[in-house]
Amino acid sequence: MKVHFLGTAAAEGIPSLFCRCETCRQAMQKGGKNIRTRTSVMIDDVLKLDFPPDTYFHMIRDGLDLETVQDLIITHSHSDHLLPEDLYMRLPGFAQSENRPIHVYGHDRPIGKCIDVVGTAQQKFAFHIVQPFVPVRTQTAVLVPLLADHDKTETCLLYYIEKDGKTMLYGHDSGWFPEATLDWLKDKKLDLAILECTTGRIPYRHNHMDIDCTLETKEWLAGNGVLKPDAQVAVTHFSHNAHMLHEDFVAAFEPHGITVAYDGMVLHI
């Protein structure tokens, strides 16, 4: 399984729009892995997780052919994870795209936002409302939506994904996982866990995670036998408000066996 990290920042990006903080200044100066766009991941070039406003840039930067995408999985409706207006660009009159639907999966609010933009009387997208803990067989994988601790005004989801004999957890946006999610994970075996660390050393256990919460989550997964012996753990979704550069996150996480994701990074599991 090829896991391609297209973007690794929180909503503001790094450097952030309009920001003059020292972190953004240094990120702009140093460049490289310190430049972070809004979070998204592509699996085997056929399954995409979230559709942020930087998708167009990801396509150009990484030479992506978005027409290879068969499944689009949405975690929640926040604007850094879903820009439905750009889905409209696949419709006739805008793109010469394939005559098949991309299947879009999510809970009711993000799916509703997509339908509000592109409608249902078209052949380019097929929409599916998922329910927590109910398995779904997509065109490319089997996924199970899991509850996140994030925005209390909507059902925000994490995803367990099984594809070609490999399993992974897409574990953000969320604070410490809800008990129902932890209970569901207890008898699973993961090849890869993708966690988040939005706030760095700023204490945070709800809605998002800080370093301590991320490490505790990895320890829980390992302690409960959820991680296979050779499993990989990666961390993503960083905010400039954490006031940490890439090297700072590496120093905090690599001693604990956690890979710090950066834009364009590819993992193979």
Predicted TM-score (pTM) of the model is 0.97
pLDDT (tens digit, 9 = 90+) per residue, 197-247? 999 999 999 999 999 999 999 999 999 999 999 999 999 999 999 999 999
Sort 220 into a burial class: Cβ within 10 Å, 0-12 / 13-18 / 19+.
middle
pLDDT (tens digit, 9 = 90+) per residue, 188-197? 999 999 999 9
In DSSP notation, 132-152 reads TT--EE-SS-EEEEEE-SS-T
pLDDT (tens digit, 9 = 90+) per residue, 118-169? 999 999 999 999 999 999 999 999 999 999 999 999 999 999 999 999 999 9
Please state, in angstroms and as integers, the Cα–Cα distance from residue 191 to each residue in 96, 167, 222, 228, following that order: 37, 5, 12, 6
Please state, in angstroms and as integers, the Cα–Cα distance from residue 83 to each residue in 42, 87, 117, 118, 166, following that order: 16, 8, 10, 12, 29
For the chain, give the percent of residues with pLDDT over 90: 100
State residue 53's pLDDT score.
98
Which amino acid does the sequence have at 78?
H
Structure tokens at 174: 């969320």
The domains found in the chain, sorted by start residue, are 2-266 (3.60.15.10)
